[in-house]
Amino acid sequence: MILWSDRLRQSTPLRLTFILMAVFLVSILLSFAVAFVVLRNSVDESLRNQLAQQFASLLLIDDQTDLTERITQQAATADPVMQIVRYVPDAGPDITNLPGFVVAPDFGIIDGTSINAPDAATSYLATTTRVGAGRLTLAFARDQISELREVFWTVFILSPLITLISAGGIGLWIARTARDRVEAIRTTLNTLTEGDLSARVPASDHRPDDLTQIGLAVNRMAASQEATLASLQQVSADIAHDLKTPIQRVSVLLERLDNQGPLLDTQRDTVAAARMETEQIVRTFHSLLQIAQIEGGAAHDMFSPVDLAAIAATLTEVYEATAEDTGHVLTFSSSGPAIIPGEKNLLGQVVANLIENSLRHSARGSRIGVEVLGTPGSATLIVRDTGPGIPEAERGNVLRRLYRLERSRTTEGNGLGLSLVAAIVDLHGATLTLGDNNPGLLVEVTFPRADQPDK
């Protein structure tokens, strides 16, 4: 579930949905604000006009008594919630429908809370002008604006909510559909990378879109790779057969020559040298073929749980006597069984090649240590020696086929041992690092553990 939501968070369509929703919300907010301001200004404008008209009609009355009477009448009928009237004559008592109301500035907005009335409106637009022999203040409630604000708030809150639910839902749906299809492509690519070139992205019943295009492209690529590999495998099988048959003949002929005796000692030596060369050709050829086959990935099908520590222990034992003869000290240690998914013989070859590499390149008296360390998540094979090591700049090169260090040109070996190790390590999804043993070479191969699900 956690994994699922993590994947979803990384999903591009869903992220786009969220971004779009945010952009949408901000633009709604802005347009609403603008609309509100425009509307409010026009409401205020019409209130201002109404006020002006009222004043205009009162200013037309010349007689002070008539004026006072009109104002008194207006004050009596007007509801102070809607309209406040206050007339302060130069002589005589104030006329008002809201006692205690303060005189406002010219066309000012008065906050309703500042007015001493139980049910005053939220705000008023008020103005004071001299009318007849006194000052008249009229204030009109801006209740339309309050209503407007309320409506705007409601719409502003409701519409994003609807947007949020609908857009979020659709976004989630698209994201999940896309995720399933992306997942299918990802799985196919992983399977292809692991060497199973028969994997294909399942055909989708969706309308042809970009994902379908990618799926089709992946399938086309896999099909062409599969075809290439099939022909390559056929070619290498053919080459192997066509080359090994004449090599076999040569070794047959040499063996025959050897048995034809009596040969001179020099002739015998030449035959022996020719046989050794033939053997070397076979080894190099065999290693190249093996690397190509391992890189083909077919051996992946033969994986089973194997104990890396047991394999390393056996190989160390096999080489112990040889190491002793060449003056090396070969030791093995482990943290107990280390079960990994793998192919026993290939893993054995990794250990063998690493030990042989150390034996070949380190001087008498050097120590070679083979170690297997198991942790819950991984198993690590370490082969270290106290020989000359490999210069840091050369560490990438030595894994290349047929590459040999300048100083090793004269030593036996074909420059394929570490390439084969690298190919096998790769097949097992393990990582190979060449480091410094201060002094000497430190090779570390870390394998993913069997009890660990594949990523």
Partner 1 sequence: MKILVIEDDVTTGNYIADGLRQEGHNVDLLTNGSEGLIQASVAAYDVLVIDRMLPGLDGLSVAKTLRGAKNRTPLLLLTALGGVEDRIEGLNAGADDYLVKPFAFGELSARIAALGRRPQLTEAPTVLKVADLEIDLLTRRVSRAGRTIDLLPREFALLEHLMRRRGRVQTRTMLLEAVWDIHFDPQTNVVETHVSRLRAKVDKPFDRELIVTVRGAGYRIDTE
Binding residues for partner 1, rule: CB under 8 A, are 237, 240-241, 243-245, 247-253, 255-256, 278, 282-283, 286, 289-290, 293-294, 298-299, 301-302, 314-315, 317-319, 321-322, 325, 343, 345-346, 348-349, 352, 356, 359, 412-413, 417
How far apart, in whole angstroms, are the C-alpha atoms of residue 301 and residue 307? 18
Residue 453 beta carbon to partner 1: minimum distance, rounded to whole angstroms: 26
Burial of 242 (0-12, 13-18, 19+ CB in 10 A): exposed
Compare residues 89 and 348 and give the one whose CB is closer to partner 1. 348
How far apart, in whole angstroms, are the C-alpha atoms of residue 378 and residue 340? 8
HSE of 302, CA atoms in CB hemisphere, 13 A: 11
- Is the Cβ–Cβ distance between 348 and 354 less than 8 Å? no
> Which two tokens mark 151?
């409506």
Residue 245 beta carbon to partner 1: minimum distance, rounded to whole angstroms: 5
Compare residues 122 and 408 and give the one whose CB is closer to partner 1. 408
Give the ranges where 261-368 is alpha helix by DSSP (H).
Answer: 265-296, 308-325, 344-361
Residue 343 beta carbon to partner 1: minimum distance, rounded to whole angstroms: 6
How far apart, in whole angstroms, are the C-alpha atoms of residue 316 and residue 175? 54
Compare residues 265 and 301 and give the one whose CB is closer to partner 1. 301
> Which two tokens mark 375?
């942790």
Residue 251 beta carbon to partner 1: minimum distance, rounded to whole angstroms: 5
Cα dihedral 354, 355, 356, 360 sign: positive
Residue 347 beta carbon to partner 1: minimum distance, rounded to whole angstroms: 10
Cα dihedral 141, 144, 148, 154 sign: positive
Compare residues 186 and 249 and give the one whose CB is closer to partner 1. 249
How far apart, in whole angstroms, are the C-alpha atoms of residue 436 and residue 194? 31
DSSP state of 60: T
Residue 362 beta carbon to partner 1: minimum distance, rounded to whole angstroms: 14
How many C-beta atoms lie closer than 10 Å to residue 272's C-beta?
A: 12
Residue 239 beta carbon to partner 1: minimum distance, rounded to whole angstroms: 9
